[in-house]
């Protein structure tokens, strides 16, 4: 991968931090889009709510990676926070897509984040990128989110929509909340435990994003999930084995609904997603199963 100038939104989030670290370690020039007044030469201001980007700062960028968005699991899903989840994605993506499309010399590629929530609850059915969107709040949000990137694609920019699964990491994201529970011996399955969790190790996610940057044949939706989706029961067992802790506790579905509200629907949903397009393009996973993904998360300490 030749050295590039790459703009990144969401550069302080879990995935963004890891991606920027990886790119800069290999000598790439990273331009960070920030909401506040820039304090460094490599920062460019933007305002996703006003759908505005200081396009002058994107001059010379050969790629843009758009990762920004409010955390789905950060708060209870009140009406106000559901609007924040939707607006932070749709308005922000519209801003970035229109900004890159307006440039005299646009970047060769826009990688605009999405999520496997677009498939809804798929039960035991295996789904890939050709599967149409499902139903539900997250499915609707993801559909709008992806559509918001259309201006870039219409401008001839290769536009990739990585649909991310559960990212296995110890220091951020939803999975990070599991580690303290399991380390304390309080971990266990959620609901029946039969629902499929489509996950990806953080190191594989970063490697996959870099693969998308440099693989011209890839555009449109690409699932970023490990090749072997596992049930919550299997994930629970893997966490117990790696951490050498019992996994006797169970969080019954009614208790999860009481504690999490509408968000429990997503926790209990089953999504058996496979990364067909990523595999077909020659990408190799370093953590293809839940146990190796958990071990990689611990090794990153």
Output the six-digit token pair for 238.
């893997």
- Triad 168, 170, 171: Cα angle to 5°: 115
- Would you state the pLDDT for residue 253? 75
Between the CA of residue 202 and those of 79, 156, 205, 260, what are the distances in Å? 30, 30, 5, 25
pLDDT by residue for the chain (301 residues), tens digit each?
A: 689 999 999 999 999 999 999 999 999 999 999 999 999 999 999 999 999 999 999 999 999 999 999 988 778 889 999 999 999 999 999 999 999 999 999 999 999 999 999 999 999 999 999 999 999 999 999 999 999 999 999 999 999 999 999 999 998 888 888 899 899 998 889 889 999 999 999 999 999 999 999 999 999 999 999 999 999 999 999 999 999 999 988 887 777 676 567 666 777 789 999 999 999 999 999 999 999 999 999 998 5
> What are the backbone angles phi and psi of residue 233, rounded to the nearest 5°?
-65, -45
* Burial class of residue 254, CB neighbours in 10 A (0-12, 13-18, 19+): exposed
Question: In the beta sheet, which residues pair with residue 110?
Answer: 64, 159
> DSSP readout, 76-138?
---HHHHHHHHHHHHHHHHHHHHHHHH-SS--SEEEE-EEGGGG---TT-EE-TTSPP-SSHH
Q: How many other β-carbons are positioned within 10 Å of the β-carbon of residue 251?
A: 21
Quote the strand ranges of 101-253, DSSP E: 109-112, 114-115, 126-127, 158-164, 166-168, 188-190, 196-197, 199-201, 220-224, 230-231, 249-251
User: How far out from the chain centre does Cα 245 lie?
Assistant: 29
How many whole angstroms separate alpha carbon 190 and alpha carbon 3?
Answer: 44
The whole-model pTM stands at 0.95
Give bridge partners of residue 6 from the DSSP assignment. Answer: 30, 63
Closest CA to 84 of 96, 73, 100: 73
Cβ proximity of 233 and 189 under 8 Å:
yes
């Amino acid at each position: 991968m030749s050295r590039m100038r790459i703009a990144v939104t969401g550069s302080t989030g879990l995935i963004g931090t890891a991606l920027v670290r990886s790119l800069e370690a290999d000598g790439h020039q990273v331009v960070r889009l920030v909401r506040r007044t820039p304090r460094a030469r490599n920062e460019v201001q933007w305002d996703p709510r006003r759908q505005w980007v200081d396009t002058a700062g994107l001059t010379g960028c050969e790629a843009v990676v758009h990762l920004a968005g409010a955390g789905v699991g950060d708060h209870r899903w009140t009406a106000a926070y559901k609007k924040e989840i939707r607006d932070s994605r749709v308005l922000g993506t519209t801003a970035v897509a229109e900004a890159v499309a307006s440039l005299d010399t646009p970047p060769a590629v826009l990688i605009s984040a999405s999520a496997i929530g677009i498939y809804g609850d798929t039960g035991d059915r295996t789904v890939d990128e050709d599967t149409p969107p499902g139903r539900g709040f997250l499915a609707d949000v993801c559909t709008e989110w992806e559509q918001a990137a259309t201006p870039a694609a219409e401008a001839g920019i290769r536009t990739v929509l990585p649909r991310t699964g559960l990212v296995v990491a110890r220091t951020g994201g939803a999975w990070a909340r599991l580690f303290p529970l399991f380390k304390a011996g309080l971990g266990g399955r959620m609901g029946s435990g039969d629902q499929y969790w489509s996950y990806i190790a953080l190191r594989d996610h970063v490697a996959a994003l870099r693969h998308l940057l440099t693989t011209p044949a890839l555009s449109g939706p690409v699932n970023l999930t490990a090749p072997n989706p596992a049930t919550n029961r299997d994930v629970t067992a893997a966490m117990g084995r790696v951490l050498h802790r019992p996994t006797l506790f169970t969080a019954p579905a009614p208790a999860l609904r009481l504690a999490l509200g509408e968000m429990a629907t997503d926790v209990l949903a089953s999504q058996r997603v496979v990364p067909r397009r990523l595999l077909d393009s020659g990408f190799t996973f370093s953590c293809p199963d839940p146990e190796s993904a958990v071990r990689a998360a611990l090794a990153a300490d």
